[in-house]
Amino acid sequence: MHPRRRFSIPLPGGRTLSLGDRTLMMGVINVTPDSFSDGGQFLDPQRAIDAGVQMVADGADILDIGGESTRPGAEPLGEVEERRRVLPVIAGLAARVTVPISIDTYKATVADAALTGGATIVNDISGLRYDPGLADVAARHGAAVVLMHTRGRSRDMYKEATYHEVVDEVLDELRESIAFATGSGVDVQRIIIDPGLGFAKEAVHTYEVLARLDEFSELGRPVLVGPSRKRFLTRPFDTARGKSFDAAEGRSLGDTPADAREWATAAAVAAAVLAGAHIVRVHAVREMSVVARVGDEIRKYHRG
């Protein structure tokens, strides 16, 4: 384990997000009918708002609101519908919680409306590769930006999952995203990076990225990791059963349901914390907060 660097991320309104003393929990609220894990649960805005309030009570330090599923094979969603889904939830949560609210989108117009409505962080799965105008929006609002690594679009991302050296290539592509962001006016102090577990990566690639997560500290920015309930977590069990991963279908053969992957998620969260992740993005905030607190406690006693 390496010492975890501390960061102070400026947010709109003169607020800051302190990272490094402990692992922060980002609670996921998918306002979608088709997300792989919780699609349909929070389509009703009031239900989504109540869920967010409960997540904060359970230990969430950030709430991440998304209106479009980016699961493998998902079709893109129009901007008007995405705004219709997320804006009431963001407004409702901004009136009831004090933790930062993140908008999970790659669209500039959606981010603009969300930041105007109370969000302070943009979580972009594309690392600014889908909509370059998103960088200008984030810079104008003074928002923090999460730059995630992926390749291709959701419907065909596994076709891009070819690597000679996965960690080196992901690092290089994240450097390109950081350079584009800062070149478009985003303050580097507002940037958080995410290696994109499960995105345009086969299970073997994702496990290697997670195992070598400490190497991402060389980018000089805080690291967010999102392992929660993802399909790569089923690989050890599928391998033991003689099953295989079907990249074309984006699923494991003999797959376990997403909501039955919490024990596996806990293992990945623990590994991420011990490797120095600053933020973990999860669905089950209460349970994963316990895992993160134990991991943080272990880190205190490491001599290194």
Rounded (10°) CA dihedral 160, 163, 167, 171 = -60
Phi and psi dihedrals of 53, rounded to 5?
A: -60, -40
* C-alpha–C-alpha distance, residues 200 and 186, integer Å: 26
Among the listed residues 191, 204, 284, 215, the one whose alpha carbon sits nearest the alpha carbon of residue 238: 204
Burial class from Cβ neighbours inside 10 Å (0-12, 13-18, 19+) for residue 188 reads: exposed
Which residue among the candidates 129, 201, 229, 281 is catalytic per the annotation?
281
Which residue among the candidates 230, 235, 261, 299 is catalytic per the annotation?
230
* Residue that is written with structure tokens 């923090």 in the block: 144
Instruction: Let me know if 212 is a catalytic residue.
Output: no
Angle formed by the axes of helices 203-211 and 166-183, nearest 10°: 80
Instruction: Let me know if 281 is a catalytic residue.
Output: yes
Here the tokens at position 99 are 């933790």
Active site residue ranges: 230, 281
